[in-house]
């Protein structure tokens, strides 16, 4: 009885990365061994253009389920390795096929010959294997355009690989292959989604959260810890920086005209985040801003806020509609945490009518009467850094995402 003995993994975009390829392959291998850490005995073999997870008796279904969430995988197929002997390959093909076959299903063969010295060419291989299946499976029909089962046979230098099914991977780029950025996590719906999408493109993220006790409760802080935990389930532990912000917010309330407090608050948050970024060797800041969503997210407002730093501020959600953002939040299981009704520091202090078109020069002027530097330094100094680990055994799998 033939069983799949490995999972064949196709890389997707990595293959276009030229000289960086080795680094990408290493990062992908690391992500895969992370999600499979509790399977003893599995082995990962990496080559230039694909990877194999050798099961060594591990449950292929469970392994496949875990692989669905790994960034950098374009697609994967449970596969079996045989030697390049026609009889052995035919036996394996028939055995695999019969496991999957049900009465009335159609099929085709897709042969590939990477080893050009193999005596049969692709057409001949298709023909040989097709004939063998038709002869041995009564009632079977060919359908080249839209087969129910596509039996893939790949002849490579070292061996032949056969598989009957292909699963969509999560796409994106391997975790940590793109450098580090700080994601500003508010506790709302948007920022965790922004973090997730950045991680999908290979960024390592650290979260930064501003809280203002006693105006915000311990439970509001817990919400952000829970959100960070969801992000950590995706690619492994995530650092969370919790910044005490009460003093600065109170000073802003006293010193800045009411319709500019929101703009000043955001500017101060950005300055502090930038300082935490610098201390932790990050190269960018990520926010959950979406154009036009609320007062602080007009173009004028972003211009006035962004004024405090040259560091790239990435806004993955900038052109998305709220409904699109919510859809992703639901898929990554952050939505229900985000809608828990706890105050965050911005909703507590939010003015009745924040300026939707703040002027940069005005906010600069208002801030110029206060020396925020020592308070910024103090906030950074008193920032609490936590390392949030994945819930064990709860790695997320994102079926059907994208």
Name which of 132 and 266 has its Cβ closer to Mg ion.
Answer: 266
Nearer to Mg ion, 113 or 335 (CB): 335
Q: Which of 177, 198, 296, 383 binds ligand ATP (CB under 6 A)?
A: 296
Annotated binding site: 184-185, 209-210, 266, 288, 297
Q: Is 326 exposed, middle or buried (0-12, 13-18, 19+ CB in 10 A)?
A: middle
Q: How far is the CB of 259 from ligand ATP (least distance, A)?
A: 16
Given the complex with Mg ion, which of 11 and 349 has the nearer CB atom? 349
**Contact between 288 and ligand ATP (CB under 6 A)?**
yes
Interacting residues with ligand ATP between 201 and 240 (CB under 6 A)? 208-210
Phi and psi of 348, rounded to 5°? -65, -45
Binding ligand ATP (rule: CB under 6 A), the pick from 93, 189, 234, 328 is 189
Report residue 81 as tokens. 């390795």
Which residue, 274 or 344, has its beta carbon nearer to ligand ATP? Answer: 344
Q: Residues marked as binding for ATP?
A: 184-185, 209-210, 266, 288, 297
Of all helices (H) and strands (E), which one includes residue 242? strand 238-244
Closest by CA to 193, choosing from 335, 388, 296, is: 335
Question: How many whole angstroms separate alpha carbon 93 and alpha carbon 98?
Answer: 9
Closest approach of ligand ATP to the CB of residue 371, in Å: 23
CB of 347 to Mg ion, least distance (A): 7
Omega within 30 of 0 (cis) for the link into 214? yes
Q: Which of 235, 297, 311, 334 binds ligand ATP (CB under 6 A)?
A: 297
Sequence-distant (6+) residues with CB within 8 A of 81 are 5, 6, 159, 160, 161
Shortest CB 357 distance to Mg ion, Å: 20
x/- contact string, 171-200, with Mg ion (CB under 5 A)? ---------------x-x------------
Per CB under 6 A, does 354 bind ligand ATP?
no
Q: CB under 5 to 8 A by kind: which of Mg ion, ligand ATP, none does 226 bind?
A: none
Q: Residue 189: which of ligand ATP, Mg ion, none does it interact with, CB under 5 to 8 A by kind?
A: ligand ATP
Under rule CB under 6 A, residue 358 binds ligand ATP: no
Buried b (16+ CB within 10 A) or exposed e, 364-374: eebbeeeebee
Shortest Cβ 332–ligand ATP spacing (Å): 14
Please compute Rg for the chain using Cα positions.
27
Considering only residues 213 to 272 of the shown chain, the ones binding Mg ion according to CB under 5 A are none
- Residue 346 CB, nearest approach to Mg ion (Å): 6
Residue 49's nearest CA partner among 90, 94, 77, 15 is: 15
CB 51 within 8 Å of CB 152: no
Site for ligand ATP contains 294 (CB under 6 A): yes
Q: What is the 3-state secondary structure (H, E, C) of 315-355?
A: CCCCCCCHHHHHHHHHHCCCHHHHCCCCCCHHHHHCCCCCC
Q: Which residues contact 154 (CB under 8 A, 6 or more apart)?
A: 111, 112, 114, 160, 161, 162
Q: Tally the C-alpha atoms within 13 A of residue 259's C-alpha that lie toward its C-beta.
A: 7
Minimum CB distance to ligand ATP smaller for 3 or for 217: 217
Q: How far is CA 180 from CA 21, 203, 204, 273, in A?
A: 19, 6, 5, 13
**What residues line the site for Mg ion (CB under 5 A)?**
186, 188
**What residues line the site for ligand ATP (CB under 6 A)?**
184-186, 188-191, 208-210, 287-289, 293-294, 296-297, 344-346
């Amino acid at each position: 009885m033939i069983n799949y003995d490995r999972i064949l993994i196709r890389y997707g975009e990595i293959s276009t990365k030229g000289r960086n390829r080795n680094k990408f392959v290493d990062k992908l291998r690391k992500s895969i061994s992370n999600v499979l850490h509790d399977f003893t005995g599995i082995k990962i073999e990496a080559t230039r253009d694909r990877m194999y997870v050798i099961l060594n008796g591990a449950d292929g279904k469970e392994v496949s389920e875990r692989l669905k969430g790994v960034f950098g995988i374009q697609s994967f197929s449970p596969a079996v390795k045989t030697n390049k002997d026609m009889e052995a390959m035919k036996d394996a093909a028939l055995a695999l096929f019969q496991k999957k076959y049900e009465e009335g299903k159609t099929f085709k063969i897709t042969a590939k010959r990477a080893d050009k010295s193999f005596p049969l060419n692709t057409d001949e291989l298709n023909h040989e294997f097709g004939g063998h299946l038709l002869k041995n499976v009564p009632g079977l029909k060919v359908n080249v355009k839209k087969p129910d089962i596509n039996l893939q046979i790949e002849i490579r230098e070292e061996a032949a690989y056969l598989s009957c099914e292909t699963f969509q991977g999560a796409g994106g780029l391997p975790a940590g292959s793109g450098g580090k950025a700080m994601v500003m996590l508010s506790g709302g719906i948007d920022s965790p989604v922004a973090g997730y999408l950045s991680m999908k493109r290979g960024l390592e993220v650290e979260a930064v959260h501003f809280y203002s006790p006693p105006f915000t409760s311990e439970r509001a802080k817990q919400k952000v810890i829970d959100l960070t935990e969801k992000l950590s389930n995706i690619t492994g532990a995530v650092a969370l920086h919790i910044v005490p912000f009460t003093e600065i917010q109170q000073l802003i309330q006293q010193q800045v005209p009411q319709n500019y407090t929101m703009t000043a608050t955001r500017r101060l948050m950005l300055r502090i985040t930038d300082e935490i970024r610098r201390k932790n060797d990050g190269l960018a800041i990520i926010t959950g801003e979406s154009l036009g969503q609320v007062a602080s997210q007009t173009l004028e407002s972003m211009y006035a806020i962004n004024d405090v730093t040259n560091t790239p501020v990435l806004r993955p959600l900038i052109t998305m509609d709220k409904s699109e953002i919510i859809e992703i939040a639901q898929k990554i299981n952050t939505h229900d945490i985000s809608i828990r009704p706890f105050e965050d520091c911005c909703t507590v202090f939010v003015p009745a009518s924040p300026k939707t078109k703040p002027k940069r020069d005005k906010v600069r002027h208002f801030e110029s009467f206060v020396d925020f530097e020592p308070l910024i330094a103090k906030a950074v100094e008193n920032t609490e850094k936590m390392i949030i680990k994945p819930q064990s055994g709860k790695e997320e799998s994102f079926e059907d995402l994208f």
